[in-house]
């Protein structure tokens, strides 16, 4: 298994550091050369299996990986890159078809999936995400063959622990019509998208985001064409705390909108997984450390062109009723009056450029609490500032997280938390639906045993260390630890505690963190 994992990391999408070189060979010719021997029927030009399914670049990478490991289909790195590009351009997913499942492509940690169809989630989410299925389009026959492939390759599915409560194979075959209805091969969205002229991503972009426990950043991203759908990228970012970071790297765009970049930011390799909007003038997604994808943040980007005027960020994101604060609104093409919504009075404009306006604003004493849209002239973009009276409770985000011990060949997986303040809302009760989200607040962080078993095993002492200021938990080393009872490993079950001081009042929030063992197999789509 170990060898397989290493091959996975060394090939496929993860190695597109060489993008820009040798994506020359013709995709269909490569399919004919490398795949048709097993995937064609005499007298037909169609490729069996390959022409009856569509998927993301990561999905195609995984299929090619299986063809390599199980069927012995050896491809050079250059040919594999060409094939992943060609297959996702010609047999890919339309933007709207991926919208519900971006988190898995973005490698967002600790997501709890929204499962709408009980039958599918009960059958298909025991070993991997629902997104792995949801990011594919197939004929009914292909969904049926996939059930065969699963049981053929993993016969233990039917009798392993957690799997023997049902006749999995029989039910999986019966599920094919449902899957084909939910995720069909032929859709109007794909027909329309495949035929559409796509915009080049080259140009200057205004970008913004927020790093947990650090705050808002804004910046520019300069993109230049280096080949067909490949680009060089330069980023310049300013943090609200005054720090500046510069990055350079490259990007490739699959299917006309799937932006994948690798950027060296001040010596740290960062990956970007963005989706471009259908008009090609905006992008959104996640940027994360290439070798530690749990450490990342959401980014939005808008083209810096005449005629585009949008608000991208506001800092701070909340203001107390009865107080005055300096508020910075960032975006592109900004001109005109700043509005921070009802009850927030703009006292003076401290500085103004088309990308950044700084104002002095007062939230009046009796203004209703809650979020209001941030606007400049006619520009807005779902950015809001929240007026609050006082914080009533703290919720930890994410409320439940996983970290993994590591070291040696498999790095540890950290966990990052934020303390988010809420006001009680009309019912005066914390933890109810009408609570008003105020925003993330600085906190002092710690961990303690989650329950009696964790207490007896001294999990808080052995499982790792919580950084009191950043909210980042670093798990301990993998392997047996003789200092522990029964010389067990350093896994643990912890309560995460955040203490927030809001205007003299102390509030505490608690979450849960399970520190578990390594993930030995970490494919592009989990």
Tokens 């993994």 belong to residue: 404
Window 152-171: residues binding ligand HEC (CB under 6 A): 154, 157
CB 32 → ligand HEC: shortest distance, Å? 10
3-class DSSP assignment, residue 126: coil
Report which DSSP code applies to 184: B
Q: How far apart, in whole angstroms, are the C-alpha atoms of residue 12 and residue 43? A: 32
Residue (83 or 261) nearer to ligand HEC, CB: 83
Does residue number 137 form part of the binding site for ligand HEC (CB under 6 A)?
A: no
As given in the structure block, the two tokens for residue 375 are 């606007």
Give the C-alpha distances (Å, rounded to integers) separating 206 from 261, 267, 373, 501. 16, 22, 20, 34
Does residue number 59 form part of the binding site for ligand HEC (CB under 6 A)?
A: yes
Q: How far apart, in whole angstroms, are the C-alpha atoms of residue 413 and residue 469? A: 19
Beta bridge partners of 233: 223, 249
Contact window for ligand HEC (CB under 6 A) among 145-153, 373-381, 432-440, 457-465: 145-153
Does residue number 40 form part of the binding site for ligand HEC (CB under 6 A)?
A: no
Among 93, 104, 124, 476, binds ligand HEC (CB under 6 A): 124
Window 248-277: residues binding ligand HEC (CB under 6 A): none
Q: How far apart, in whole angstroms, are the C-alpha atoms of residue 210 and residue 239? A: 9
Q: How far apart, in whole angstroms, are the C-alpha atoms of residue 43 and residue 59? A: 29
Tokens 């012995």 belong to residue: 72
The bridge status of strand 384-388 relative to strand 436-441 is unpaired
As given in the structure block, the two tokens for residue 344 are 């927030």
Among 2, 74, 126, 164, binds ligand HEC (CB under 6 A): 126
Residue (81 or 375) nearer to ligand HEC, CB: 81
Please count the other Cβ atoms lying within 10 Å of the Cβ belonging to residue 102.
18
Contact window for ligand HEC (CB under 6 A) among 124-132, 207-215, 287-295, 496-504: 124-132
CB 146 → ligand HEC: shortest distance, Å? 5
What residue ranges in 1-127 does DSSP mark as E strands? 53-55
CB 285 → ligand HEC: shortest distance, Å? 22
Strand 356-363: give its sheet, edge to edge. 310-315, 324-332, 356-363, 344-352
CB 161 → ligand HEC: shortest distance, Å? 11
Among 9, 10, 18, 127, binds ligand HEC (CB under 6 A): 127
Does residue number 73 form part of the binding site for ligand HEC (CB under 6 A)?
A: yes
Does residue number 146 form part of the binding site for ligand HEC (CB under 6 A)?
A: yes
Pattern 78-117, binding to ligand HEC, x per CB under 6 A?
-----x----------------------------------
CB-based contacts of 142: which residues, under 8 Å, 6+ apart?
Answer: 49, 52, 53, 185
Element containing residue 226 per DSSP (H, E): strand 215-227
Does residue number 133 form part of the binding site for ligand HEC (CB under 6 A)?
A: yes
Residue (172 or 421) nearer to ligand HEC, CB: 172
Residue (73 or 194) nearer to ligand HEC, CB: 73
Q: How far apart, in whole angstroms, are the C-alpha atoms of residue 33 and residue 269? A: 35
Size of the site for ligand HEC (CB under 6 A): 38
Q: What angle do CA 324, 325, 331 make, to 5 degrees?
A: 140
Residue (142 or 304) nearer to ligand HEC, CB: 142
Does residue number 149 form part of the binding site for ligand HEC (CB under 6 A)?
A: yes
Does residue number 38 form part of the binding site for ligand HEC (CB under 6 A)?
A: yes
Q: How far apart, in whole angstroms, are the C-alpha atoms of residue 163 and residue 401? A: 25
Does residue number 175 form part of the binding site for ligand HEC (CB under 6 A)?
A: yes
Q: Which residues bind ligand HEC (CB under 6 A)?
A: 34-35, 37-39, 49-50, 53, 55, 59, 62-64, 66-67, 70-71, 73, 83, 123-124, 126-128, 132-133, 136, 142, 145-147, 149-150, 154, 157, 172, 175, 179
């Amino acid at each position: 298994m170990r060898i397989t994992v290493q091959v996975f990391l060394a090939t496929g999408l993860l190695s597109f550091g060489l993008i820009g070189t040798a994506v020359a060979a013709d995709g269909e010719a490569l399919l004919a050369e490398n795949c048709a021997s097993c995937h064609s029927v005499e007298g037909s030009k169609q490729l069996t299996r390959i022409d009856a399914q569509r998927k993301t670049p990561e999905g195609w990478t995984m299929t090619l990986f299986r063809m390599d490991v199980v069927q012995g289909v050896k491809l050079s790195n250059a040919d594999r890159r060409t094939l992943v590009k060609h297959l996702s351009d010609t047999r890919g997913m339309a933007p709207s078809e991926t919208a519900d499942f971006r988190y898995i492509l973005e490698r967002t940690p600790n997501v709890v999936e929204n499962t709408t169809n009980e039958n599918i989630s009960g059958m298909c989410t025991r070993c991997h995400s629902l997104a792995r299925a949801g990011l594919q389009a197939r004929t009914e026959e292909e969904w049926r063959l996939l059930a065969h492939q699963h049981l053929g390759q993993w016969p233990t599915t039917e009798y392993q622990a957690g799997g023997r409560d049902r006749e999995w194979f029989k039910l999986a075959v019966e599920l094919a019509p449902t899957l084909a209805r939910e995720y069909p091969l032929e859709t109007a969205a794909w027909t329309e998208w495949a035929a559409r002229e796509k915009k080049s991503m080259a140009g200057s972009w205004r970008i913004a985001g927020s790093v947990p426990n650090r705050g808002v950043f804004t910046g520019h991203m300069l993109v230049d064409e280096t080949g067909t759908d490949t680009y060089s990228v330069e980023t310049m970012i300013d943090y609200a705390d005054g720090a500046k970071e510069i990055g350079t790297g490259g990007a490739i765009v699959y299917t006309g909108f799937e932006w994948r970049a690798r950027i060296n930011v001040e010596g740290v390799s960062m990956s970007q997984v963005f989706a471009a909007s259908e008009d090609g003038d905006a992008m959104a997604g996640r940027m994360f450390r290439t070798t530690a994808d749990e450490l990342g943040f959401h980014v939005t980007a808008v083209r810096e062109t005449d005629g585009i005027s949008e608000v991208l960020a506001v800092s701070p994101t909340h203001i107390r009723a009865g107080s005055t604060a300096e508020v910075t609104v960032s975006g592109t093409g900004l001109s005109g009056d700043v509005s921070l919504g009802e009850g927030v009075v703009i006292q003076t404009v401290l500085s103004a450029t088309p990308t950044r306006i700084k104002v002095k604003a007062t939230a009046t004493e009796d203004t209703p609490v809650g979020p209001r849209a941030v606007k400049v002239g006619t520009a807005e973009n779902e950015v809001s500032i929240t007026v609050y009276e006082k914080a009533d409770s703290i919720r930890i985000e994410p409320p439940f997280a996983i970290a993994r011990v590591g070291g040696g060949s498999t790095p540890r997986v950290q966990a990052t938390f934020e303390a988010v303040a809420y006001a009680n809302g009309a019912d005066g009760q914390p933890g109810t639906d009408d609570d008003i989200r105020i925003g993330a607040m600085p906190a002092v962080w710690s961990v303690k045993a989650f329950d009696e078993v964790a207490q007896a095993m001294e999990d808080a002492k052995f499982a790792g260390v919580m950084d009191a200021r950043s909210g980042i938990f670093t798990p301990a080393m993998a392997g047996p630890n003789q200092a522990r009872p029964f010389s067990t490993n350093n896994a643990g079950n912890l309560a995460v505690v955040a203490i927030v001081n809001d205007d003299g009042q102390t509030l505490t929030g608690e979450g849960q963190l399970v520190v578990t063992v390594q993930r030995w197999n970490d494919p592009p789509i989990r």
